[in-house]
Structure 1
Amino acid sequence: MRVRTLMLAAAGVALIAPTTLPGAAPPPGHGRAGHGGPSAGNLPRAGSLPHAGSIPHARETRTPRNVGAAELLAAVRDCAPVSRDRFRSDHGEPADIEVCDRQGAVFWKADLDIDCDGRPGRHCNERTDPLFCDTTAFQQSDGRQLSAERLPYVVVPGPSHRWNHREHDVRRGTVAAVIHGDRVRYAVVGDIGPDDIIGEASYALARNLGIRPDPRGGGAASGVTYILFKGSGASPIENPGAAAAQGERLARELVARS
C-alpha cells in the first residue's frame, strides 16, 4: 500500500541522515525538543494520516451545456415576417416559405437541398453532381473556393424584392444554427442561390445533420430550420470550430431572450 511505502521511505531517510554539526541550525522540520516537528522516531502512524476526504480539492469549473434542438425551436416558434414575398423550396413548388425575424436573428423553415459547389473533391465534382459549379459566392481567407465537402455552410437567396439578406446584416461568414430532428449543427453563410428559392446547404452540413448528402438524390424534403445570427461572423470562414463556438454562444443568448 502507498501509506506503508511512505513510512518505510521516511524511516530509511532517518537512518542515513547525517549527524548535525555543532552550532549548525537544525534542519527544517526537526526543531529542538518542545520546539519543532516530530523526530524520525516519532513519525505519524498510518492511522494518524489526514483522511483523503479532508484534503481540499480545486473548485470544478462547469462547461456550459449545449443548447438543445427543442430549446431553439421554441425560441423561433413565432414568425414576424421580414420578407416581402414568399419563397419556394424548389422550382415548381408553391411559394409558401417566409423569412422571419427574431431578436437578433432571422430564420426560416424549409427543406434541405444539397449544395456541392466550390472546390472539387471526392464527393463533389462534375461526375457526382450534374449541376456542379466550381465556384462559390464567397471564398476562404486564402482566396480559394469553399469546399462543400468539408465546410458546413448554408445558402441564402440572392437579393431581390422578396428579401435582401444584406439589409438584415447577413453576409459572408454569418453564423447559422441549423436544426433537423434533435440535432443542432452550426455553419456559416457560404453561398448565394436563386432569388426565389430557399432551403439549401452544403454536403458537409447535411452529413453532420444525419441527412443523406448525395447531390443527386439526397437532402431532406422538409423539417429543417435555419437560424442566422445578424452581425455575426466566423473568422476564418473556413474554420468550422470558430462557427461552432460562436454559434453556441449566440444560440444560448437567443434562448435566454425568448
Structure 2
Amino acid sequence: MRAQSMTLAAAGLALLAPATVSLTALPAQGTPGAPAIRQEGFVRAADLLARVRNCTAVSRGRYPTDNGAPATVPVCGTPEAVYWTADMDIDCDGRPGPHCNSSNDPWFSDATAFTQSDGRYLSAETLPYIVVPGASTVWDYREYGVRGGSVAAVVYRDRVQYAVVGDVGPYGIIGEASYATAAALGIRPDPQGGGAPSGVTYIVFKNSRATPVESHASAVAVGERLARSFVQAAKSTVRRSQATEDEGAEEE
C-alpha cells in the first residue's frame, strides 16, 4: 500500500555534464496518455542486473515494501552506487494533471520533496523519477551522495529506464516511482491498483545529477555514461581475477 510522501527541501550536488545518447522508441502501452516505452541508451538490463547480483548492505536493517509486510529489502552499495530490488508503488504527487490528481489518487499531494529549476514541484505524469525512503536510523540516503536530482537506472525485466530522485517517502517503506517511470517500463501506472509486486531494481549513482532536474534528456545522458562505467568496472574486476588465476596455474 502506498503511503503519503514527505516534502523536504532540495539540496545541490556537483554537476555532471551530459553526453549524447540515442533513444529507440518502442510501442506505446494501452494506458491513454501514457508515455511511449523507450529503450534508453545501450547498457543492457542483464548487464546491470549482473553487476548488482551480490549485495553488500549499507543499510542498518531491511525495509518492507508495504505497510504490514515483512522487512526483507536491504539497501546495498558499491563505491559507485546504492541499489535495492523491491516492488513499485506509483507516486502521482507533484503538479496535477489528467492522470495524477486528487480525484484519481486518494493519497495525492500537489508537492514533491524536490523542485525543478523554476521552483515548481515536479510532475509525476511527465518526469520519470524515483522515491527514496525518508532518512532514518535504518538508512540515510544523504550520507551516500544521494540528493534530489540524483540519477538512477531503474531495471524491470529486460528494460532500463533512467530517472532522477524526485521525492521522499515514509522512512519505513521502500519501492516507489513516478507515474511516468512506471509507464515507460510497461508497468501499469494507475496509483490505485497499478505498479509491480516485485522484481524492480533501483540503482542510484552516487554524487550524480541531472541538469536541470526536470530534464529527462540529461538524466538519460548522465545515467547512460555512469551505467556503462558501472558495468565495465565489474567486467574489469572479473578479467583481473581471471588473469591472476591463469598466472597462478602457469606457476604450478
Classify the secondary structure of the residue corresponding to 1:154. Answer: strand
Q: Would you say how many aligned residue pairs link Structure 1 and Structure 2? A: 197
> Could you say which structure has the larger radius of gyration?
1
Query: Which residue in 2 is equivalent to 1:100?
Result: 76
**What's the CA shift string for 1:87-127, capped at 9, x where partnerless?**
01000110010000023100000000000000000000000
Q: Once the two structures are superposed, what CA deviation does each residue of 1:198-252 show, in whole Å capped at 9, x if it has no partner? A: 0000000000000000000100000000000000000100010000010000000
Aligned residue number for residue 31 of structure 1: none
Match of 2:85 among 85, 95, 109: 109
> Once superposed, what is the RMSD of the aligned Cα atoms?
1.4
User: 5+ unaligned residues in a row in structure 2: which ranges?
Assistant: 1-21, 23-40, 235-252
Normalised by the size of structure 2, how large is the TM-score? 0.77
Higher-RCO chain (CA-CA 8 Å, sequence separation at least 6): 2
Query: Which residue matches 1:36?
Result: none
SS at match of 2:212: coil
Q: Distance in 2 between matches of 1:220 and 1:93?
A: 15
Does the alignment pair 1:201 with 2:177?
yes
- Look up the match of 1:222: 198
Q: Deviation of residue 183 (structure 1)?
A: 0.3
What is the aligned partner in structure 1 of residue 12 from structure 2? none
- Over residues 39-84 of structure 1, what are the superposed CA-to-partner deviations in whole Å (9 max), with x where a residue is unaligned? xxxxxxxxxxxxxxxxxxxxxxxx8x70000000001111000000
Residue number among 146, 156, 163 corresponding to 2:122 in the alignment: 146
Helix, strand or coil for the counterpart of 1:110? strand
- SS, match of residue 59 in structure 2: coil
The answer on 1:129 being equivalent to 2:113 is no
CA distance in structure 1 between the aligned counterparts of 2:74 and 2:216, rounded to whole angstroms: 27
Q: Output the CA distance in 2 between the equivalents of 1:78 and 1:214.
A: 32
Sequence identity of aligned pairs in percent? 63
SS at match of 1:177: strand
**Match of residue 89 from structure 1:** 65
Is the CA contact 1:103–1:254 (under 8 Å) kept in the aligned structure 2? no
TM-score for the superposition, normalised by structure 1: 0.75
Matches within 5 A, 1:39-50: none
